[in-house]
C-alpha cells in the first residue's frame, strides 16, 4: 500500500457501525468462515480473494509473523497469544477513538460495546437493532392489540443511552418499503398475523408493515436510523437491497429532519451517493466492502464519493467477530482516502488545508455531528 498522507495517518476514526469481537480464539475454520460474507466450498479457499490477499499481507506482521505466512501458522500464533491479546493488538492499531456498536447480532458470545472499546482504547456508544427489540417483545408474550405500545415502550427503555437505531428490513422484506406511517390498527393486524404464524423458537420478524412501524418509531425517538443496504451474506436478497427502493420512505422522513444512515451500500454505492446528494438527511458509508475489496478499496471510495457530498460520507468498518477485520477496515480506508486525496491534490482540485479538513470530516466529524456524539462525551 502507498504511503499515507500524514494527516490521514494521524486522524482518529469514528467507526459509526461495527459489532463486537469473538470471546473465543478463532481457529483456521473460523478465520475462513468469518473472513467475508461468503461460504467455503470443497477444493478451494476463501483466502484466494481480494479480502484474503490483504488479510495475509497485512495481518501476520501484527502478530510477529512475516507477511504471507501460512494460514496454519497464523492460526497457531493466534492460539498462542490468546483472544484478548490478539484483539488488543489489532484494535489498538485501528486508531479508532469512538465506536458505535450494533448490539443486535449475537450468533455467539461476543464482547459488549464497553469491552470492545476498552480493547481498542476508544469510547463506545450503542446502536439498538429495531427488529431485535420487537422480537424480544413478541417472545415475552405480548398480544397483537398491545404490540405497538409494548414496542414503543421497550424501545424507549432500550435506547435511553443509545445514539441510534438500526433497521435490517433489507434482510427481512427488502427495501421496497411503503412510505406511510402505519396506524396502530394496521400494526395490530400485522402483529396478529405475525404472532399467529411464528413457529417454535425465537420469533423472526419479516413483515413490511411492522418493519415500517419500527422505522417510524426510530424517527419518533429522533435518533439517527441506520439501514443495512446492499452487500450482506446469503440471507439477503441483494436485488431487493438497492437503496433507491427507499426513495419514497426517505422523502416521507425528510420533514422530521432525522438523519438516515445508509450502511455498506456496495455494489449500490453510487446510487447511495446520489441519495446523499439529493436528500439533506441522508448519509452514506462503504463499510464492510472496504476490507472485502482489499486492493480495490481506493476504486470503491472514489466511486462512492463521485456524487456523495464529503460532508455526508462516514467511516465504518462493519467488522464483526475477528479483530483483524477492524484493522483491515481502518487500514484500507486510510489507504484509499490517502490515494483519493493525493490525486485531488495532484490535480489542484483543492489545497492541502482543504484536504486536511475533508479528512477530519469523513473520518470523524460527520459522524459526531449526525449522531450528536459531543453530547454524550
Site residues (CB under 5 A) for Zn ion?
A: 318
Q: What is the DSSP letter of 363?
A: I
Look at residue 189 and give its three-state secondary structure. helix
Distance CA 163, CA 127 (A): 6
Q: How far is the CB of 326 from Zn ion (least distance, A)?
A: 12
Nearer to Zn ion, 285 or 318 (CB): 318
Q: How far is the CB of 318 from Zn ion (least distance, A)?
A: 4
Q: Which residues are CB-contacts of 309 (< 8 A; sequence separation ≥ 6)? A: 276, 277
Nearest to 311 by CA among 365, 250, 373: 365
Q: How far is the CB of 319 from Zn ion (least distance, A)?
A: 8
Nearer to Zn ion, 103 or 359 (CB): 103
Tell me how crowded residue 216 is: count the other CB atoms within 10 A of its CB: 20
Nearer to Zn ion, 318 or 365 (CB): 318
Distance CA 147, CA 326 (A): 37
Whose CB is nearest to Zn ion? 318
Nearer to Zn ion, 17 or 152 (CB): 17
Q: Please, are residues 54 and 40 in contact by the beta-carbon 8 Å criterion?
A: no
Q: How far is the CB of 36 from Zn ion (least distance, A)?
A: 13
Task: Look at strands 96-102 and 13-18 and give their pairing.
Answer: parallel
Q: How far is the CB of 167 from Zn ion (least distance, A)?
A: 12
Nearer to Zn ion, 271 or 318 (CB): 318
Distance CA 202, CA 298 (A): 41
**Cell numbers that stand for 178 in this block:** 411503503
Distance CA 374, CA 377 (A): 5
Nearer to Zn ion, 63 or 170 (CB): 170
Q: What is the DSSP letter of 25?
A: P
Q: How far is the CB of 17 from Zn ion (least distance, A)?
A: 6
Distance CA 338, CA 344 (A): 10
Nearer to Zn ion, 17 or 312 (CB): 17
Look at residue 260 and give its three-state secondary structure. strand
Q: How far is the CB of 195 from Zn ion (least distance, A)?
A: 27
Amino acid at each position: 500500500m502507498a504511503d499515507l498522507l500524514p494527516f490521514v495517518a494521524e486522524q482518529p476514526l469514528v467507526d459509526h457501525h461495527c459489532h463486537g469481537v469473538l470471546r473465543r480464539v478463532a481457529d483456521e475454520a473460523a478465520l475462513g468462515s468469518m473472513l467475508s460474507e461468503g461460504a467455503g466450498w470443497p477444493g478451494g479457499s476463501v483466502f484466494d480473494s481480494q479480502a484474503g490477499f490483504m488479510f495475509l499481507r497485512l495481518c501476520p506482521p501484527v502478530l510477529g509473523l512475516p507477511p504471507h505466512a501460512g494460514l496454519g501458522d497464523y492460526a497457531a500464533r493466534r492460539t498462542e497469544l490468546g483472544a484478548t491479546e490478539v484483539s488488543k493488538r489489532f484494535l489498538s492499531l485501528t486508531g479508532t477513538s469512538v465506536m458505535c456498536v450494533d448490539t443486535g447480532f449475537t450468533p455467539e458470545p461476543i464482547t459488549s460495546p464497553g469491552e470492545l472499546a476498552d480493547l481498542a482504547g476508544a469510547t463506545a456508544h450503542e446502536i439498538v437493532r429495531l427488529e431485535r427489540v420487537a422480537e424480544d417483545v413478541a417472545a415475552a408474550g405480548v398480544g397483537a392489540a398491545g404490540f405497538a405500545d409494548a414496542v414503543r415502550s421497550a424501545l424507549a427503555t432500550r435506547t435511553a443511552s443509545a445514539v441510534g437505531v438500526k433497521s435490517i428490513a433489507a434482510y427481512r422484506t427488502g427495501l421496497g418499503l411503503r412510505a406511510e406511517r402505519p396506524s396502530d390498527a394496521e400494526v395490530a393486524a400485522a402483529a396478529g398475523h405475525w404472532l399467529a404464524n411464528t413457529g417454535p423458537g425465537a420469533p423472526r420478524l419479516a413483515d413490511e408493515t411492522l418493519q415500517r412501524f419500527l422505522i417510524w418509531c426510530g424517527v419518533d425517538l429522533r435518533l439517527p436510523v441506520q439501514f443495512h443496504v446492499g452487500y450482506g451474506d446469503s440471507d439477503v436478497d441483494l436485488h431487493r437491497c438497492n437503496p433507491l427502493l427507499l426513495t419514497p420512505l426517505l422523502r416521507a422522513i425528510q420533514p422530521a429532519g432525522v438523519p438516515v444512515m445508509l450502511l455498506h451500500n456496495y455494489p449500490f454505492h453510487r446510487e447511495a451517493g446520489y441519495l446523499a446528494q439529493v436528500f439533506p438527511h441522508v448519509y452514506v458509508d462503504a463499510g464492510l466492502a472496504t476490507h472485502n475489496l482489499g486492493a480495490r478499496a481506493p476504486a470503491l471510495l472514489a466511486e462512492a464519493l463521485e456524487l456523495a457530498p464529503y460532508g455526508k460520507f462516514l467511516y465504518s468498518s462493519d467488522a464483526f467477530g475477528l479483530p483483524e477485520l477492524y484493522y483491515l477496515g481502518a487500514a484500507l480506508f486510510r489507504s484509499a482516502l490517502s490515494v483519493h486525496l493525493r490525486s485531488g491534490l495532484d490535480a489542484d482540485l483543492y489545497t492541502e488545508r482543504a484536504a486536511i479538513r475533508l479528512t477530519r470530516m469523513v473520518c470523524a466529524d460527520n459522524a459526531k455531528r449526525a449522531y450528536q456524539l459531543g453530547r454524550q462525551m
